[in-house]
Amino acid sequence: MCPTQLFFISLFFLFIINSSKADNTTSFGYCPSSVCDNGLNISYPFWRLDKYNSDSPQYCGYPGFGINCSQIDSILYISGDSYNVTNIDYSVYSINLVDIDALDNKICPRVHHNVTLDEDLPLKYSELDLFVNFYYNCIHSPNSYNIAYPFDCLNSNGNKSYHAEEEEDFDWTRICEKKVVVPVTKDGFTRGIGAAMVEGFLLHWVNATECVECEASQGRCGYNNSTHESLCYCKDGTVKFDNCNTKENIIALSLSAFGRKFFI
C-alpha cells in the first residue's frame, strides 16, 4: 500500500470519528427517564408515547411499551384497550394496571372486555393476581351449589349479574348473555370486587437485564425497533450494544467491517 492511499484512508477515518463526535450530546439526550404529570416515573423499557415525535426520535424502549401521559392519567394500550398505569416497580419488573372503561362508574364497576395480552408483547401475569369471571344478563340464578356472588347494582329488568372467582362445573352460557374474565390482585380482592377493580392487576415484563448493565456504566438504554436490538447511549456520544465500558461501539463495528473490506 502506498503512502497516499494510507493518507486518504486516515483522512476518511478521521472524518467518521469527527462526525460521530458531532452528535455527542444529542445521542445521550435521546432517552432520559421522564416523569408524567401524575408522578409516574417512565424509564426503559417504557417510553413516553406522548413525546414520541419530539423529544425521542429514537426508540427508547420496547415497541408496545409506549405510555401516553396526560394530566390525569398515564395510559398503556394493550390489544386496543386502555389501561391506566398506576405504578411501575423497576426493581421487580412489575407494572400495575387499571382498566379505564371499568371505572366509568366507580360504585358499580362493570367490565366490558376481557384483558387480552398480545402474544408478541413481552408481558405476563403476576403470581399475585387471580382471575374473576363476570356473568352478565343472566335470566335466573345458577344452582345453589355454585359459588357465585350476585352483583346487585347491575341487575336490570329481572336479569341478574354475578361474579365467580373460579370456573365452576356449570354451563353459564345457558343462562347468561356475556362472560368477561379479568385479573385482579389477590390482595385487592380481599377488600371486595369494587375495590379490586379500582386497584387493578399486576403484570411482569421480561426482565430488561440488558439495561442494568448499560445504566451501571452511566449509559441510557434504547431499542432499535427494526433490528430488535437493545442499544446503550453513552455520555461520550457513542452508541453501544451492551454497556459504555466496552471498547467497540456500533460505529466502530461498521468501520472495522468497512476496513476489512477495503484492505482485503
Interaction site with ligand NAG (CB under 6 A): 21, 24-25, 33, 35, 38, 41, 43, 49-50, 58-59, 63, 68, 70, 72-73, 84, 86, 90, 93, 103, 113-114, 137, 139, 156-157, 159, 176-181, 204, 207, 209, 224-227, 231, 235-237
* Residue placing its CB nearer to ligand NAG in the complex, 71 or 144: 71
* Residue placing its CB nearer to ligand NAG in the complex, 193 or 203: 203
Give least dist CB 95 to ligand NAG, A.
Answer: 11
Report in angstroms the alpha-carbon separations of 189 from 149, 178, 201.
Answer: 13, 22, 10
* Residue placing its CB nearer to ligand NAG in the complex, 189 or 199: 199
189 three-class SS: helix
Residue 58, burial from CB neighbour count under 10 angstroms (0-12, 13-18, 19+): middle
**Local structure of residue 169 (DSSP, 8 states):** S
198 contacts: CB under 8 Å, gap ≥ 6: 98, 103, 106, 109, 188
Round to whole Å and give the CA distance between 179 and 185.
19
* Residue placing its CB nearer to ligand NAG in the complex, 18 or 190: 18
Give least dist CB 259 to ligand NAG, A.
Answer: 19
